[in-house]
Amino acid sequence: MAASLIKLFITAALANAPVASGGVVTTTVDPAVTRFNAVITGGMIGGAVTTIPADDFLDDNGNPVDANSLPAVPTDGYINVYVNGVLQQEGLSTLTTASLVLATILATAGTPVVLEVADFSNTDSTITTPQTISAPAIDVTT
């Protein structure tokens, strides 16, 4: 007769699932919002676009902006463009560090333009109180 192997048979059942409780996450948002203003001149208007060079803008303090010194569109943020006090649709403007280009054929010299740049990249989340997770209870039957 051939020898046979007797295997140990065990069953396990989860008596109590782990439970998570508590825990606090603190998120700090420190947006950087800058605004710039300019007035459209006749030389900025050309065909289907109006191009406002960076050095035609003034910052929030009334200081001139240097050429190629406008902020880029932030990855974690947005820009708002106001023409004559009216918020414009997103697709009607293109911002580079060198200029703001408005897709318009109706620009008029003397019209004020405000550029607002909101950058939320300075956001941080920290676990200030770790979560407590109970160990599962397992019933083993042999």
The pLDDT, as a whole number, for residue 107 is 86
As a whole number, mean pLDDT of residues 73-90 equals: 95
pLDDT in tens, 102-121: 998 788 999 999 999 999 99
CA 101 to chain centre: 22
pTM (2 decimals)? 0.72
Size (the chain), residues: 142
| Of 14 and 50, more confident | 50
Residues 6 or more apart whose CB falls under 8 angstroms from that of 66 comprise 54, 55
Q: Is pLDDT at 15 greater than 90 in this prediction?
A: no
Q: How far is CA 12 from CA 8, 101, 138, in A?
A: 13, 68, 6
Q: What integer best gives the mean pLDDT of the chain?
A: 91
Q: What are phi and psi of 43, to 5 degrees?
A: -70, -15
The pLDDT, as a whole number, for residue 99 is 97
